[in-house]
Amino acid sequence: MHKITEISLTTASLLLLPVQPVWALTADKITGLSTNVVFIITIIVSIIFGLILARVAAENRQAKGRMLVTKTKNRGELNPNEILQELKGLSGSAKNQKKAAVALSSLLDEKVKEKVTSVRQELTDKYGKLVEEKSKVAAEAQKKFKKTLNEKKQTEAIVRSVAAGVVVVNNKGEVLLMNPAAEKLLNTKKEEKIGHSLTEDAREEQLISLAKTTSLDGETDIEIDSNEDTKKILRSSSAVIEDENGQTVGMVTVLNDITKQKELDNMKSQFLSNVTHELRNPIGAIKQSIAVILEGTAGELTEPQHKFLSNAKRNLDRLSALVDDILDLSKLEAKKMDITLKMTAISKIVDEVCETLDTWTKNKEIRIVKDVEKDLQEINVDPDRIIQVLMNIISNAIKFTPQDGTITIGAKLSEEKGKMAVSISDTGIGIAQDDLPKIFGKFQQAKNRSAGDKSGTGLGLTIAQELVELHGGKISVDSEEGKGTTFTFTLSMNLTEESSAK
Ligand code: ADP
């Protein structure tokens, strides 16, 4: 028996002690037994009673222990204070305490394991997902990188194999890309140019000039000394590269060798120039002969003869004008037009042109208004060439302005520094918007011609443009169909023969 049993027995004996003398006397009296026997019986009874009490107490504690385990199991959670409290209550039985402790520790183990497993699973799932997502992103990035790399390779291969020279520069003008064709055309090595300006270190004799004329579509002709007998002429077309915010980040330039084309053009111009030059003399001779016949010096003419000869003279005049225009244009294009600069008042030139066209304007009943700014300084120009420009523009204005119309000739200082602006406005039939960009082209005539005068070669404005540019200026047109047209050209106020020759 353990402590609990001993305690129970002692407790039972103690409880029975007070009644022992009474019991001994009574038993003595009743049965006549000796006091010693009675005392022994009393002790035995006490022990039996104590054992019964101990048994009841043990049963009670076992039931309590079972209840604690069940309670804990049912709740599925372990509250340390509660467990301690319950264990204290079990302090009577070491065996039961041990049992409860073992049950609790195994339960604890189980719970901890469960928790660890669930947390591990949770973390595994979470990290698994993360890893999966990351791998997906990485795979996507890798795919994109490969695609970009392929595209880059493709673009590079295309740029490399393009017959035209391609040069890409950044916004500082430093070369970023140059294909083999560009290296060949510019007589340079890509390695020397990448990261540097294209014109940096360019030997002066190598890059002779950037042509001062830029055509309507933004093309520029560059003349390059190829270190051979002939010069190379490159046509460069450039386009600005902008980022998504519209900021200029660079420029791409395509270079084409147009030396052969230029040579052919020159040969053509030369041929035209020679032919027209050769035509001039016989035309002049025929003109003079017809004039003499028409005057009647060579004998009286019948009316039909006069009529036919007059018709021949008119056509001869047109032929002569055409020959003159072709000759002028070929000289201008070959940069062989001679100009003799002279300080001249623009008002004088305007007066002279108006005087020449006076009969024509009067016949057509067209009013000429001169609007030349007072005190406008004299300007260094070739007066004959500026007269030619004005004659070409004003005769068009007369041709395309109906009776009673007005032509206004104005001259003033231009808003552009160092330039004078001359304008010719008419109240004529106007030019369709889609025809406007074409009319300065060679042999170009607008649709409106059917409504106006059909005479003309389509070279007048081309020549006017070339002559204006030779004087350091620019020509432009503004027109509205049915309302009229305004031509404006500028002239440099400080032109020298050298600057005009460039
Ligand atoms: P053309 O010898 O035919 O006049 P131009 O080069 O001088 O050749 O002019 C080209 C065309 O431009 C003309 O044929 C005409 O259609 C148009 N044009 C020029 N000036 C005017 C104007 N003032 N009003 C209307 N159309 C004009």
pLDDT given for residue 209 in this prediction: 41
Which class for 385: exposed (0-12), middle (13-18), buried (19 or more C-beta within 10 A)?
buried
Give the mean model confidence (pLDDT) for residues 441-452. 74
Q: Give the type of residue at 74.
A: N
Q: How far does the centroid of ligand 1 lie from the alpha carbon of residue 395, in Å?
A: 9
Q: Is the CB of 477 under 6 A from ligand 1?
A: no
Task: Using pLDDT thresholds of 50, 70 and 90, give the confidence band for residue 73.
Answer: low
Contact 237, 218 (CB under 8 A): yes
- Cite the DSSP H helix spans in 400-488: 460-470
334 vs 349: CA distance, rounded Å:
27
Pocket flag, ligand 1, residue 466 (CB < 6 Å): no
Q: Write the pLDDT tens digit of every residue in 193-245.
A: 888 877 665 554 444 444 334 444 567 888 877 666 667 888 888 888 888 89
Chain segment 405-431, per-residue pLDDT in tens: 999 999 999 999 999 999 999 999 999
Mean pLDDT of 18-23: 52
- 359 Cα–ligand 1 center, Å: 20
Angle at 358 between CA 353 and CA 360, to 5 degrees: 110
Would you call 224 helix, strand, or coil by DSSP?
A: strand
**Residue whose CA lies nearest to ligand 1 atom number 16:** 446
- Cα dihedral sign, 294-300-306-312: negative
Residue corresponding to tokens 């406008």: 376
Strand order in the sheet with 367-372: 367-372, 406-413, 419-426, 484-492, 475-480
CA dihedral 378, 382, 384, 388 (to 10 degrees): -100
pLDDT band at residue 276 under the 50/70/90 scheme: confident
- Ligand 1 centroid to 439 CA: how many Å? 7
Ligand 1 centroid, distance to 320 Cα (angstroms): 19
Spell out where 373-483 has E strands. 379-381, 406-413, 419-426, 475-480
Asked if residue 28 lies in contact with residue 65, where contact means CB atoms within 8 angstroms, the answer is no
Going by alpha carbons, the residue nearest to atom 11 of ligand 1 is: 445
Identify the residue with better confidence: 410 or 48. Answer: 410
pTM assigned to the model:
0.57
- The predicted structure's pLDDT at residue 226: 62
Query: What's the confidence (pLDDT) of residue 412?
Result: 95
Q: Letter for the amino acid at 464?
A: A
> Does residue 49 have a pLDDT over 70?
yes
The pLDDT tens digits of the residues spanning 278-313 come to 998 899 999 999 999 999 888 899 999 999 999 999
| Strand intervals (E) in 105-193 | 165-170, 175-178
Dihedral in degrees, nearest 10, Cα atoms 53, 59, 61, 65 = 180
Alpha-carbon distances of 241 from 165, 170, 250, 311, rounded to whole Å: 17, 9, 5, 59
Looking at per-residue pLDDT, the higher value among 57 and 474 belongs to 474
pLDDT at residue 483 tops 70: yes
